[in-house]
Amino acid sequence: MTKIFIVDYRISMEEYLNLKLFSDNIILCPRYEKLYNAIDGHVDIQLHIIDNNRIIVHKDIEKSFIEDLMNYGISVSYSKNPLEEHYPHNIHLNGLNLKKHFIHNITYTDPILLQEIKKKTLINIKQGYTKCSVAVVNDEALITSDKKIFNELTKEGLDVLLVPPGDIILKGLDYGFIGGTCGKIDDNILAFYGSLDNYKYGETVKKFLTKHKVEPYYLSSGKLIDRGSIFTIIKN
C-alpha cells in the first residue's frame, strides 16, 4: 500500500517533516499565477479527487505535477473550465464530494466533475468555496462554519458540527476556513496545519472528533492555518 499526500507548495518545513512521518510520498501542489496569492497553491482549488485512482485537475496546471501523479499510477482528467482569479471563476473544482452526496454551487461546478458525480445526491448551495468550508471527519460527520451547509447536510441526516467563523490564518485575508486547515491522513487521524490547542473553538472540535473516534494530529504547534486542505490518496 502506498499513501500519497498532496499539499500546498508553501507548506512549512516543520509541517512537511511531521507529515513525512506518515509517508515519504508528498507531492507539492504548484503555484498557479492566475489565482490570487492567498489561494494560489491550494489543493482544494486546483484539483478534485474522484477516488484513489482518478483525479480531475484544472486544465492549465503544471505538466510536471501531472507527471508526479501519473508516476503513482493515478489517472488524470482535465477540467473543461479554466481557473481565473476572481470568484466564482476559481471554484469549479471546489465541491464537497462525499460517499452519497455532492454539495456545491452547481452552477459553477466544472462539467467534467459533474459527469463523475451525477449518480450522487446533488445539493446546490450558494457557497462556492464548499470544500474549503468543510472539514471531513468521515462521510457521516463534518465540521463547518457555514450555516447553510450545516442546515443542508443536517437535513440529509449527517452529523455536522457548526463552529463560528474566524480565528484561522489565511495570509492576505481576514481569516480562512476550517476545511482548509486539515485532511484525513489515516482512517482515524485528522491532520491539522496548526493546533486545536490554539484555536478558539478547539475544545468543541476535539469533543466532536472523540465522538467519532478520530484523533487530531498537529503538523505544527501554532494557530490553525488554511493551506487549502490535505488530500490523501491510497494506492494498493
Residues of the chain with pLDDT under 50: none
- CA dist 99 and 32 (Å) reads 29
Contact 87, 107 (CB under 8 A): no
The one-letter amino acid at 128: G
**Dist CA 229 CA 233 (whole Å):** 13
pLDDT number for residue 236: 80
Q: How far apart are CA 35 and CA 40, in angstroms?
A: 5
Residue-averaged pLDDT of the chain: 97
pLDDT of residue 200: 98
Can you tell me the distance from the alpha carbon of 36 to that of 50, in angstroms, rounded to the nearest whole number? 25
Predicted pLDDT at 8: 98
Q: Which strand (E) or helix (H) includes residue 123?
A: strand 121-124
Q: Classify 207 as helix, strand or coil.
A: helix
Grid cell of 14 as nine digits: 516543520
| pLDDT value of position 9 | 98
Q: DSSP 3-state helix, strand, coil percentages of the chain (rounded to 5)? A: 25, 30, 45
- Domains of the chain: which residue ranges? 2-235
Give yes or no for a contact between 158 and 142, defined as CB atoms under 8 angstroms apart: yes
Q: What angle do CA 16, 70, 102 make, to 5 degrees?
A: 80
| pLDDT tens digit sequence for 160-180 | 999 999 999 999 999 999 999
Backbone angles phi, psi at 19, to 5 degrees: -70, -35
Q: In the CATH hierarchy, which fold is given to the domain comprising 2-235? A: L-arginine/glycine Amidinotransferase; Chain A (3.75.10)
